[in-house]
Structure 1
């Protein structure tokens, strides 16, 4: 995944607003396996300041952020991508599984 492949990936994975074909305004992709991200819920992350329900990674991850035209519908979403290397913030369930990407 890279910033130039937002349109193709959004279309291939059929990513849209819940219960709709409207283009999702923003979608973020973390360039890491599930197992690596899951470790943030354990010893590869720490509590996020101000919100103990969130965890922030100790190391930086390559992240691609796709911003799309929300006035369009699949498969015609037009997206612009940007990428960065940053520490990521996620929420984890009580079994130590990542369940939501909060922010970078």
Structure 2
């Protein structure tokens, strides 16, 4: 009986840990990609969100895509508003407004990052876990 209980306790801890990891990745996705950003505000928004090449670097991120819609609407892609796309990804069934910010000054470091923004409307390809978007893969026409 004790072994069964210990096993259930361990399994519960593992599930909770996995859930916490998915929620952390979801919050990171939201912080990195969700929000209305005009193409002439890329410098400001990339700096405000502290988006760099990696979490332990101050090198400017080469590119970032902002999705100009609500997190709730984007979440729907992981349900009925999305379709399987390639291996692990889901494609939105509807296009979304996006702003793509591309670095102009290669190898720059924060706070000297300068971006060129481009606005468009595209379908999204994202990775979903447990019904949440956790990774932006790309946009498609």
Tell me the TM-score range normalised by the shorter chain.
over 0.9
Higher alpha-carbon Rg = 2
Count of aligned positions? 101
User: Structure 1 unaligned runs (5+)?
Assistant: none
| Higher strand proportion | 1
Cα deviation 1:5-33 (Å, max 9, x = unaligned): 00010111111111100000011100111
1:76 aligns with 2:128: no
The answer to whether the Cα contact below 8 Å between 1:91 and 1:99 also exists between their aligned partners in 2 is yes
Give the TM-score normalised by the residue count of structure 1: 0.93
SS in 2 for 1:88: strand
| Aligned residue runs from structure 1 range 5-84, under 5 A | 5-18=41-54, 19-48=56-85, 51-68=86-103, 69-84=105-120
How far, CA to CA, are the matches of 1:70 and 1:17 in structure 2?
A: 12
Q: 1:2 aligns with which of 13, 38, 46?
A: 38
How far, CA to CA, are the matches of 2:99 and 2:113 in structure 1?
A: 17
Give the TM-score normalised by the residue count of structure 2: 0.69
Spell out structure 1 runs of 4+ moving beyond 4 A: none
How far, CA to CA, are the matches of 1:79 and 1:4 in structure 2?
A: 9
Q: What residue number does 1:103 align with? A: 138
